[in-house]
């Protein structure tokens, strides 16, 4: 019986650019990539690629990119079995969408207790909200919303506002906000909508706030592609927030 095809994001490999370093094969937690007999990266099976693009970060020659086309749907169960068979239980616990073991699992969904020192709590007046528009979820934001015109735009992963205590003061103040989750949202159309926002509104600046967990890099990839499609020359500033609330990079 022919496989059912769906339109979704998946990795694409430029064999001419691939230098055979193999870093992408280890960066892909789903085991979707391997080197063939010619020493070039190949996609093992479409169902093993989640389309998140974690492998892009390690590909120095730029041989990898995310495209959207009709392919077989990502199959977390089959991928988990594939990684468990080829790499073992520990590696399988990091597969996107697979049920995590109690003390392991994907870094983005692993249970972690963050210790805080109650004595260090600041006794201050509650901070005011710096939110100056509504809605904020990308699915709901219209590219024609008047508040986007000539705006300083902040595109933030959902969890950043909860992890970063000073989110309103340090990131949101003076900016218009769009939020999204690259892992849990239905992201179809996200790139096109963000590209339209940038193209129609002469956005002055663009900040992207993501969490340090691997899946969150998917939001940055979408923004970068939106910038490319929009034809604008805005350069995103990237803020990476640690699970403990510290800014890991800026």
Asked if the model's pLDDT at residue 114 lies above 60, the reply is no
Q: Is-contact 41 20, C-beta < 8 A?
A: yes
Question: What's the fold here for domain 5-92?
Answer: Alpha-Beta Plaits (3.30.70)
pLDDT surpasses 80 at 39: yes
Q: Nearest-CA neighbor of 131 among 100, 94, 101, 169?
A: 169
For residues 30 and 118, the model is more confident at 30
Mean pLDDT along residues 138-164: 94
Alpha-carbon distances of 74 from 41, 58, 194, rounded to whole Å = 19, 22, 24
At 42, phi and psi to the nearest 5?
A: -135, 155
Is pTM, for the whole model, over 0.75?
no
Q: What is the DSSP string of 157-180?
A: ETTHHHH-TTIIIIIITT-EEEEE
Cα distance from N-terminal residue to C-terminal residue, the chain: 50
* Secondary structure (3-state) at 3: coil
The per-residue pLDDT for range 46-89, each reduced to its tens digit, is: 999 998 888 887 888 889 999 999 999 999 999 999 998 988 88
Q: Please determine, for residue 122, whether its predicted confidence score (pLDDT) is greater than 90.
A: no
The three-state secondary structure class of 23 is helix
Confidence at residue 104, expressed as pLDDT on a 0 to 100 scale: 47
The dotted CATH code for 130-249 is: 3.40.50
Whole-number Å distance between alpha carbons of 34 and 24:
8
Q: What is the per-residue pLDDT for 213?
A: 84
Where in the chain are all domains bearing CATH 3.30.70.20?
5-92
Query: What are the backbone angles phi and psi of residue 238, rounded to the nearest 5°?
Result: -110, 130
Per-residue DSSP letters for 188-219? TTHHHHHHHHHHHHT-SEEEEEEESSGGGHHH
The Cα–Cα gap between 39 and 24 comes to 12
Lowest average pLDDT, out of 28-37, 114-123, 169-178, 236-245, goes to: 114-123
């Amino acid at each position: 019986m022919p496989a059912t095809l769906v339109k979704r994001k998946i990795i694409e490999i430029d064999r001419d650019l691939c230098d055979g370093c193999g870093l992408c094969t280890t960066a892909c937690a789903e085991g979707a990539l391997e080197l063939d007999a010619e020493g070039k990266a190949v996609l093992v099976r479409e169902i093993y690629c989640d389309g998140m693009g974690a492998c892009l970060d390690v590909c120095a020659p730029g041989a990898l990119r995310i495209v959207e086309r009709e392919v077989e749907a990502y199959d977390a169960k089959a991928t988990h079995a594939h990684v468990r068979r080829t790499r073992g239980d520990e590696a399988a616990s990091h597969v996107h969408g697979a049920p995590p073991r109690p003390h392991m699992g994907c870094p983005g969904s692993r249970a972690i207790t963050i210790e805080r020192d109650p004595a260090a709590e600041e006794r201050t007046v509650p901070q005011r909200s710096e939110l100056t528009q509504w809605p904020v979820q990308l699915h709901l934001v219209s590219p024609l919303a008047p508040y986007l015109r000539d705006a300083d735009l902040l595109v933030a992963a959902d969890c950043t506002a909860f992890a970063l205590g000073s989110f309103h003061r340090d990131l949101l103040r003076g900016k218009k906000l769009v939020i999204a989750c690259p892992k849990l949202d239905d992201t179809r159309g996200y790139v096109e909508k963000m590209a339209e926002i940038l193209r129609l509104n002469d956005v002055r600046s663009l900040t992207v706030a993501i969490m340090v967990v691997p899946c969150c890099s998917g939001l940055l990839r979408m923004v970068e592609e939106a910038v490319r499609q929009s034809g604008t020359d805005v350069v995103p500033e990237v803020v990476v927030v640690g699970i403990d609330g510290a800014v890991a990079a800026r």
